[in-house]
Amino acid sequence: MAVTFDIKTKCKQTQARTGCVHTPHGDIQTPVFMPVGTQATVKAMTPRQVEDAGSEIILANTYHLYLRPGHDLVKEAGGLHKFMAWDKPILTDSGGFQVFSLGALRKITEHGVKFSSHLDGSKHMLTPEKAIEIEQALGADIIMAFDECTEYPAEYERVVLAMERTHRWAQRCKDAKTRKDQALFGIVQGGCFADLRVQSAKAIADMDFPGNAIGGLSVGEPKKKMNDMLEVTVPHLPETKPRYLMGVGSLDCIIDGIARGVDMFDCVLQTRIARNGTALTKQGKLVVRNAKYARDFSPIDSECTCYTCQNFTRAYLRHLIKTNEMLASTLISIHNVQITIDFVKEIRQSIELGTFLQYKNEFFANYRV
Amino acid sequence: MAVTFDIKTKCKQTQARTGCVHTPHGDIQTPVFMPVGTQATVKAMTPRQVEDAGSEIILANTYHLYLRPGHDLVKEAGGLHKFMAWDKPILTDSGGFQVFSLGALRKITEHGVKFSSHLDGSKHMLTPEKAIEIEQALGADIIMAFDECTEYPAEYERVVLAMERTHRWAQRCKDAKTRKDQALFGIVQGGCFADLRVQSAKAIADMDFPGNAIGGLSVGEPKKKMNDMLEVTVPHLPETKPRYLMGVGSLDCIIDGIARGVDMFDCVLQTRIARNGTALTKQGKLVVRNAKYARDFSPIDSECTCYTCQNFTRAYLRHLIKTNEMLASTLISIHNVQITIDFVKEIRQSIELGTFLQYKNEFFANYRV
């Protein structure tokens, strides 16, 4: 088994737990936040900065790397770890969500998804087998099954079809996989219908993947719906396997997910809003580009120990933003990634100390969405 | 005296020498290459990366910082060192070259230069006194006199007028300066006329600045002209003071300048061409974005010890360039800055070993412009 999972502590009041995922490239303490390196780079950060921010695992995108530079090239380079100079664990998605996001540019059949590249319109086909071929060439420690996501809101019948296809595709992914040093995670779908989520969780759990993901959430539904879906889904996913909530997220969604038994999270939010001049804090977002920070000589967060907060003021960061200096994106990305990782670390500690619920309540008392 | 200079070794065959400039923020081994941080940031690099690349001093631009965020704000922040989190020496130019570069947007009188901001067209006036006021607010270790540069080619009469004004303005700068912890360097002008260069060098030398710069070169003249001007200028600048060739440059111009007795260099080339996907090597430029490097899994320079060359291949850098990832600019800037600094370090060692001329000949035997 390429990936194993130990549970360390379980919260008595919630579904929260701490644990450790063991992979060929090292251990990951869970719950964990995984920064996203879509095109084999966490945007605006060097691997050293990603590591210094505390990252134990990053995510990369199969769809993007398949199109550029191509999985064959990455394989020839010695795999994704070597190509991007990141020797800790990597997780690759399957491209399912990306081709779903192409909308009119894709056509789904039982065989797979025909799509036009968002770059040049060239025609491509992703199937469960092709996704696994690409993910095996990339060589991440954890690879994801090729699934069919549904938009929100979506008709019940449509969600049923996508969910059932996701299950058949999960099996095809399992059958196609040959590398022993990678762990394939299954993905639960079912939209925002509780009965379908239960059905999907059971079906995916039955396939005995070394880890299980919850997909198709954070696609526009209200936050309460997402939490409701987690509450009905998680109990049907094996306790002994890591649970991964895909594409989430913000600090509030992360802590809510952890309370509901989720172990792994990924999101582009941290680096995306950084490039737009917005920083995360445990009190909510701080729009550094705002004029009111022009002469604010305090750091983004005076309690944060990241490189940015230890060295730079809001006034300086705002100056970089206003003058279109790339360093703004780098410095705010460093902060946003580290504060999220430190937040999850504090949550782990609170679970181990038995004070998670208290930590969570205090967090929400101070947090503005 | 805010800045003192010791000569360590003198080359027997050329005017090259090694030395050390002592400043309130630390020592600078000369010859030295100074990366440029125009807007209080060396573009695409964190101060830590600039330091890791071996930089002992950086340059910042008075014109840009005066316009944004304003020198008052930088002063309020505790000065430029603190504002940009760089605690080693800083040199600021005076804005003279920048307003000269505005062309039709500026009007020069004996009092100073009226100009329209390149950002919003707003009207401003820079005078010797104003430049010193701004530079004192910024608080660099070395500040430059406000000078009048001339374009190439320029009529003799016009160059005479600009040179004479530069001398009068140098005196006004000296008179305006009040801070004792900053060193004011004078600037020699005189275009590409040998007699004017001699006249200007003598006039500036007579004012007894703690360092002397050679301005108005690298403005479009042939490289041979620049070297000729250095040869006539340097002998008239005091041997006991550091000599700074402004806005230069490329590896070949640096080594040629050192051979002619120059101690200090600055240039935007390193970071500018990095953002365009071009790397410097001691054999010439390497256009990393070229298709021929798509599957080249060697570093930019296999002998370079920079973070980029130690971790990343040409294929990966090209991928970052093709996918418009900011990390490309960062990684190639790191390389271009470090290879220049390492090159100057090797030159220093060769001067100390008495092998400079041999080093220089070997360099040019392998270098393609």
In tens, the pLDDT along B206-227 reads 999 999 999 999 999 999 999 9
Please give the positions of A annotated as active site.
93, 266
Distances (CA, A) of A369 to A220, A250, A284, A363: 16, 9, 6, 12
Instruction: Say if residues A227 and A249 touch (Cβ distance below 8 Å).
Output: no
Q: What was the pLDDT predicted at B354?
A: 98
Q: What was the pLDDT predicted at A332?
A: 98
Percent of chain B with pLDDT over 70: 100
Tell me, rounded to whole angstroms, the distance of Cα A117 from its chain centroid.
Answer: 23
User: Cβ A85–B316 below 8 Å, yes or no?
Assistant: yes
Using an 8 Å CB-CB cutoff, list chain A residues near B326.
43-44, 326, 329-330
In tens, the pLDDT along B125-145 reads 999 999 999 999 999 999 999
Identify which of A68, A323, A325 has the shortest CB distance to residue B319. Answer: A68
> CB count, 10 Å around CB of B365?
7
Q: How many CB pairs under 8 A join A and B?
A: 107
Q: What was the pLDDT predicted at B194?
A: 98
Q: What was the pLDDT predicted at A64?
A: 97
Identify which of B45, B83, B320 has the shortest CB distance to residue A316. Answer: B83
In tens, the pLDDT along B37-55 reads 999 999 999 999 999 999 9
Rg of chain A, C-alpha, whole Å: 20
Nearest-Cα residue of chain B relative to residue A85: B311
Tell me, rounded to whole angstroms, the distance of Cα A143 from its chain centroid.
Answer: 12
Q: What is the band of B1 on the pLDDT scale with cuts at 50, 70, 90?
A: low
Residue A36 DSSP symbol:
B
In tens, the pLDDT along A40-74 reads 999 999 999 999 999 999 999 999 999 999 999 99
Check the CA dihedral B53-B56-B62-B63 and report its sign: negative
Q: Which of B147, B263, B266, B301 is catalytic?
A: B266
Q: Which of B93, B141, B256, B301 is catalytic?
A: B93
Q: Exposed (0-12), middle (13-18) or buried (19+): which is A148, by Cβ within 10 Å? A: buried
Residue A233 DSSP symbol:
H
Q: What is the band of A308 on the pLDDT scale with cuts at 50, 70, 90?
A: very high
Identify which of A76, A77, A325 has the shortest CB distance to residue B39. Answer: A325
Q: What is the band of A369 on the pLDDT scale with cuts at 50, 70, 90?
A: confident
Q: What was the pLDDT predicted at A179?
A: 98
**pLDDT at position B369 over 90:** no
Distances (CA, A) of A292 to A92, A124, A277, A286, A297: 40, 48, 14, 11, 11
Nearest-Cα residue of chain A relative to residue B78: A297
In tens, the pLDDT along A344-361 reads 999 999 999 999 999 999
The B-side interface with A (CB below 8 A) comprises 39-41, 43-49, 64, 68-69, 73, 76-78, 83-85, 294-295, 297, 307, 311-313, 315-316, 318-320, 322-323, 325-327, 329-331
Using an 8 Å CB-CB cutoff, list chain B residues near A43.
325-327
Residues ≥6 apart with Cβ < 8 Å to B287: B277, B278, B279
The full DSSP string for B125-172 is EE-HHHHHHHHHHHT-SEEE-------SS--HHHHHHHHHHHHHHHHH
Mutate to test the interface with A, among B36, B41, B74 (most CBs of A within 10 A): B41
Using an 8 Å CB-CB cutoff, list chain A residues near B119.
none
Mutate to test the interface with A, among B58, B289, B319, B324 (most CBs of A within 10 A): B319
User: Cβ B315–A41 below 8 Å, yes or no?
Assistant: no
User: Cβ B326–A330 below 8 Å, yes or no?
Assistant: yes
Using an 8 Å CB-CB cutoff, list chain A residues near B314.
none
- The residue type of A310 is Q
Give the integer Cα–Cα distance in Å for A103 and A116: 10
Nearest-Cα residue of chain B relative to residue A64: B323
User: Cβ A325–B297 below 8 Å, yes or no?
Assistant: no
Q: What was the pLDDT predicted at B127?
A: 98
**pLDDT at position B33 over 70:** yes
**pLDDT at position A2 over 90:** no
Helix, strand, coil content of chain A in percent (nearest 5): 45, 20, 35
Give the integer Cα–Cα distance in Å for A359 and A129: 44
Q: What was the pLDDT predicted at B225?
A: 98
**pLDDT at position A104 over 90:** no
Give the integer Cα–Cα distance in Å for A218 and B69: 39
Q: What is the band of B298 on the pLDDT scale with cuts at 50, 70, 90?
A: very high
**pLDDT at position A1 over 80:** no
Task: Report which of residues A129 and A103 the model is more confident about.
Answer: A129
Give the integer Cα–Cα distance in Å for B116 and B119: 8
Q: What was the pLDDT predicted at B104?
A: 87
Q: Please determine, for the modelled complex, whether the ipTM score is greater than 0.90.
A: yes
Mutate to test the interface with A, among B75, B323, B333 (most CBs of A within 10 A): B323
